[in-house]
Amino acid sequence: MFTCKQVSNALSKEDYEKMPPLRRFFLRLHVKLCVFCGKYNRQVMDSQDMCRCYREHEITSEETFAQYRPQMEPLKKDQLKELLASQSK
Amino acid sequence: MTEKPEPKVPVTPPEQWVDKYGDYLYGFAMSRLRNPDAANDCVQDTFLAGIKALERFDGSRDIKFWLRGIMRNKIVDQIRKSIKENKVDIEAEDEALLESFWFKYSGIATTNPDPWQFNPRKSYDNGEFWIVFEKCIAQVKDPAREAFVLRVLEDQTTEEVCKAMDITPNYLWVLLHRAREQLKLLLEASWTGENVK
């Protein structure tokens, strides 16, 4: 079994979903049962889940993001087009 | 004069990249950097690096995503540059946290963080939630936001982030803790979708 400090260190270094299955199982078990670090590390795991989902949505819901994200200024686009044309000749 | 290397598969010519992918890459860079000048530089560096590396493009994925892969490195470079200009100093409050009994004993800041005001998992399928999430990340204060972007969103290792930010792993942990804390508060204040108490 892990100690609280080992669980906290492991979660600060890697996404728990990427851990080997057995390690992930014991880590989850510790977080579920521990009265000391359970609440805290559960939220760390929630945050990892959230960021993983966000990165997936960035790809799958690209059009939704495109509606809200800022766009390049036309002047900057023209300057960049000129630069790329000269570079790709 | 040397000949331009040709890509292995047919691709959109670089002259059309700005019109086709400029806005997409700029928006992506802004979501990580939130600085228009840095985002413009990032797009430019990405396209130039893309032209140089074009002969290595094998067509296994859309060129847009290939360019975004290049851009991830450019984003890390831009954040590194910004950190060099504004050196990260450890704050007194954070120093106290690092010296606290709980941190030394268990590696955590507190045993009882406040529970979520809503269950975020239930909002994961709602596209609007991720837009709010992205806006909230942009409001997290630097250097916690920069640490969060590098470590969590760009998946850099602890060692790489510590080197880029010139901080210790313990302080990186504190910055990530601060970022998560702020993000949670911002989400609770901003998200008004279903499943909110």
CATH of the domain at B186: 1.10.10.10
User: What is the mean pLDDT of the segment spanning B162-188?
Assistant: 91
Is B21 in the same domain as B36?
yes
Cα–Cα distances in angstroms (integers) from residue A2 to residues A30, A59, B19, B101, B124, in the given order: 7, 35, 53, 19, 30
Is residue B133 domain-resident?
A: yes
- In chain B, the number of structural domains is 2
Q: Over pLDDT 70: what percentage of chain B?
A: 92
**A82 contact residues in B (CB cutoff 8 A):** none
Angle at which helices B158-165 and B169-190 cross, to 10°: 100
Q: Which of B85, B108, B131 is the last residue of a domain?
A: B85
Looking at this protein, which amino acid is placed at residue A70?
P
Whole-angstrom Cα distance, residue B152 to residue B79?
14
pLDDT grade for B1, boundaries at 50, 70 and 90: very low
Is B178 in the same domain as B124?
yes
Q: Which of B64, B85, B106 is the last residue of a domain?
A: B85
In this prediction, does ipTM exceed 0.90? no
Q: What is the pLDDT of residues B116-134, one digit of tens each?
A: 888 888 888 888 899 999 9
Is B99 in the same domain as B179?
yes
Domain ranges of chain A: 4-87
Whether residue A13 and residue B158 make contact (CB cut-off 8 A), yes or no, is yes
Q: Over pLDDT 90: what percentage of chain A?
A: 63
Q: Which residue, among B84, B47, B78, has the nearest Cα to B149 in the 3D structure?
A: B78
Is B48 in the same domain as B66?
yes
CA pseudo-torsion sign A58, A63, A64, A68: positive
Domain that holds residue B165: 92-190
Is B122 in the same domain as B162?
yes
Q: What is the pLDDT of residues A3-35, one digit of tens each?
A: 999 999 899 888 999 999 999 999 999 999 998
CA distance A11 to chain B (A): 10
Whole-angstrom Cα distance, residue A27 to residue A37?
11
Is B80 in the same domain as B109?
no
| pLDDT of residue A1 exceeding 90 | no
CA distance A54 to chain B (A): 6
Is B66 in the same domain as B106?
no
With H, G, I as helix, E, B as strand and everything else as coil, classify residue B193: coil
Cα–Cα distances in angstroms (integers) from residue A85 to residues A57, A71, B8, B17, B47, in the given order: 33, 21, 20, 10, 11
Is residue B4 domain-resident?
A: no
Is residue B42 domain-resident?
A: yes
**A52 contact residues in B (CB cutoff 8 A):** none
Whether residue B158 and residue A53 make contact (CB cut-off 8 A), yes or no, is no
Is residue B195 domain-resident?
A: no
Is B106 in the same domain as B185?
yes
pLDDT of residue B26: 95
**A50 contact residues in B (CB cutoff 8 A):** 120, 124, 133
Whether residue B26 and residue A70 make contact (CB cut-off 8 A), yes or no, is yes
- B91 CB burial (10 A radius; 0-12, 13-18, 19+): middle
Is B69 in the same domain as B106?
no
Is residue B6 domain-resident?
A: no
Is residue B96 domain-resident?
A: yes
Interface A:B, Cβ pairs < 8 A: 137
pLDDT of residue B130: 93
Q: What is the pLDDT of residues B74-121, one digit of tens each?
A: 999 999 888 888 777 777 777 787 878 777 777 787 777 888 888 888
Q: Which of B85, B100, B132 is the last residue of a domain?
A: B85
Whole-angstrom Cα distance, residue B183 to residue A72?
27
Is B179 in the same domain as B107?
yes
Is residue B149 domain-resident?
A: yes
Is B160 in the same domain as B120?
yes
Among B32, B52, B75, B152, most A C-beta atoms within 10 A, so best to mutate, is: B152
Whole-angstrom Cα distance, residue A61 to residue A12?
28
Is B103 in the same domain as B167?
yes
pLDDT grade for B6, boundaries at 50, 70 and 90: low
CA distance B181 to chain A (A): 10
Contact present, B70 and B53 (Cβ < 8 Å): yes
pLDDT grade for A62, boundaries at 50, 70 and 90: confident
CA distance B26 to chain A (A): 6
